[in-house]
Structure 1
Amino acid sequence: MENKVAVVTGAGGTLCSAMAIDLAKQGYKVALLGRTEEKLKVVENKIKANGGIAISVCGDVANEEAMKAAKDIVENEFGICTLLINGAGGNQNDALPNITEFDERELEHNNEIKGFFNLNMKVFQNVVEINTMGTVIPCFVFGKSMAKHKQGNIINFASMTSYRPITRVAAYAMAKNGIQSFTQWLAAYLAPAHIRVNAIAPGFFLNDRSRKIMFNSDGSQTDRAQNILRQTPLKRFGEASELIGCMNWLINEKNAGFVTGITIPVDGGFLSSPGV
């Protein structure tokens, strides 16, 4: 494509910032979308320091009007989006129980026990919304221009929880399971418009939030980290750079032009290990 314009949501995060930087090196004009301008500007400055082209656009990916405004900015600055990467999402502590199975004390509103029955349902709903509609709405908004011009490529972010639920993350797992299904549906729907839609399912990668979950203050691994690595045959966490090859294969029309509707795990073998 002569006009290579990439829109990357969640671009201020560890994984998507690495993807955005690599796309800029390939000659894409990169629009960095997210809610925190400060984080986006860090990535924008890195891209520009390397001679690339990027802009930061703040907005809530789960808000249709905000995404329409973002699309107008992108199209005025760069032109029609040809690659959309939906990396925005995440979890919230108030949606996470601190137990992994039912305990009667959660019915008594015991302050030490946070189970499913004393979670904050508004926060639970918010996690589902940002991880589902936060992908659907950018596809709806930017995909419309792609369809009009009969070209484009969409990569969604799935998760290990797209395949099986993981303890304590019910809202996130519910949403990411839906992303895998939505990716398949949208791929079939947009095929006549020559738009391929796929997803990447990262395994356990470290970012600012996950480091607090995986490591104690003294640097030792938490029980959760040890459980994850026990079921990860490669016995380590992933690095952001290790998603780049998968992304580049999916966006390459020569090598992956017949690939659409799939979700690719990049997980160190996590899904291949049943734990027994």
Structure 2
Amino acid sequence: MGSNDLFSLKNKVIVVTGGTGILGGSFVKAIADAGGIAVILGRNAEVGKQRADEINANGGQAFSVTADVMEESELINARDIILEKYGTIDGLVNGAGGNMPEAVLAPEADIFSMNIEGMKKALALNTWGTVVPTHVFGAVMAKKNGGSIVNISSVSSQQAVTKVLGYSMGKAAVDCYTKWYAVELANRYGDKIRMNSIMPGFFLTEQNRTLLTQPDGSYTDRGNLVVKNTPYKRFGKPEELVGALIYLLSDASRFVTGTTLGVDGGFTIFSGV
């Protein structure tokens, strides 16, 4: 196998949940560029179709299917559509997740009366929004050719990041799940299916843009704090995550499982001093 083939996803069917989001957009494009068939799964049918059309028009292979990761019946329906079209699933990127306004704790808020329902929603989305798609799509991989599952963690699972407790707890659960499930998969299926995760630092997305930037594009106080605590002194760009993603999806990482790969500009290693 040549070094180029090592990172190839040629004709592999890869499902990307959250494929209609900002990071998901980079993920699906990179998968198609690596020769894979990118299955864009998200709630926004219009964006999904637009992205698939664009990839197909540029000589790649992509397909869009609408589903909410919190609705198992919608995921099962999506799985059946994918299998009818392609006959297999070779990889899964659990890109769906993120935060929501009701789960953000303002600095002046009383921490003993935080919005528990909001926190629960963020915790559930990030935890079960990763576990349930794995059950639905991973089961196909186990029955067929095996493959790779990539979860999305966050630097907030490693360090206390203010305001985002529910989200942070959800990502800490993803870290635990990645290790636990990787071991259980290996115990049952040997090296047929592996599970790893990517730990992004701060990237500007639709969900955190208002927390980190002003309408004119300048940084908020929080945005400035993040940049100050990132040795690279900037936010990440979505395309800077895709090298890690392609590595973990491709045969280049065949003996790698249960690991978390940080892509954070040094955020988690910097003491602030």
Is the shorter-chain TM-score for this pair beyond 0.5, marking a shared fold? yes
Matched, 1:171 2:166: yes
Aligned twin of 1:51: 59
SS at match of 1:39: helix
The answer on whether the counterparts of 1:7 and 1:32 sit within 8 Å (CA) in structure 2 is yes
SS at match of 2:207: helix
Shift of 1:11: 0.4
SS at match of 1:156: strand
SS at match of 1:77: helix
Matched, 1:115 2:110: yes
- Find the aligned partners of 2:133 and 2:207 in 1 and give their Cα distance: 24
Aligned twin of 1:256: 253
Which residue identity does 2:249 align to in structure 1? I
Alignment of 1:59-138 (within 5 A): 59-99=67-107, 113-138=108-133
Matched, 1:17 2:25: yes
Structure 1 pair 143–161 and aligned structure 2 pair: CA distance change class (3 A):
same
Shift of 1:2: 7.1
Return 49-58 or 226-235, whichever deviates more: 49-58
Aligned twin of 1:270: 267
Aligned twin of 2:12: 4
Structure of greater relative contact order (alpha carbons < 8 Å, 6+ residues apart): 2
Match of 1:152 among 147, 166, 184: 147
What does the per-residue CA deviation read over 1:231-276, in whole Å, with 9 as the maximum and x for residues that have no partner? 10011110111111111211221x3211110011100000110113
Identity %: 40
Alignment of 1:196-211 (within 5 A): 196-211=194-209
What runs of 5+ residues in structure 1 fail to find an aligned partner? 100-112
The answer on whether the counterparts of 2:12 and 2:37 sit within 8 Å (CA) in structure 1 is yes
Which residue identity does 2:83 align to in structure 1? E
The answer on whether the counterparts of 1:62 and 1:135 sit within 8 Å (CA) in structure 2 is no
Aligned twin of 1:26: 34
Shift of 1:166: 0.8
- Find the aligned partners of 2:31 and 2:132 in 1 and give their Cα distance: 22
Structure 1 pair 274–64 and aligned structure 2 pair: CA distance change class (3 A):
same
Q: Report which of the two structures shows the higher radius of gyration computed on alpha carbons.
A: 1
Shift of 1:26: 2.3
Aligned twin of 2:185: 190
Aligned twin of 1:213: 211
- Find the aligned partners of 1:219 and 1:148 in 2 and give their Cα distance: 48
SS at match of 2:16: strand
Structure 1 pair 2–207 and aligned structure 2 pair: CA distance change class (3 A):
closer
Shift of 1:38: 2.0
Return 39-48 or 182-191, whichever deviates more: 39-48
Using the size of structure 1 for normalisation, the TM-score is: 0.90
Which residue identity does 1:185 align to in structure 2? W
SS at match of 2:197: strand
- Find the aligned partners of 1:77 and 1:123 in 2 and give their Cα distance: 38
- Find the aligned partners of 1:85 and 1:260 in 2 and give their Cα distance: 14
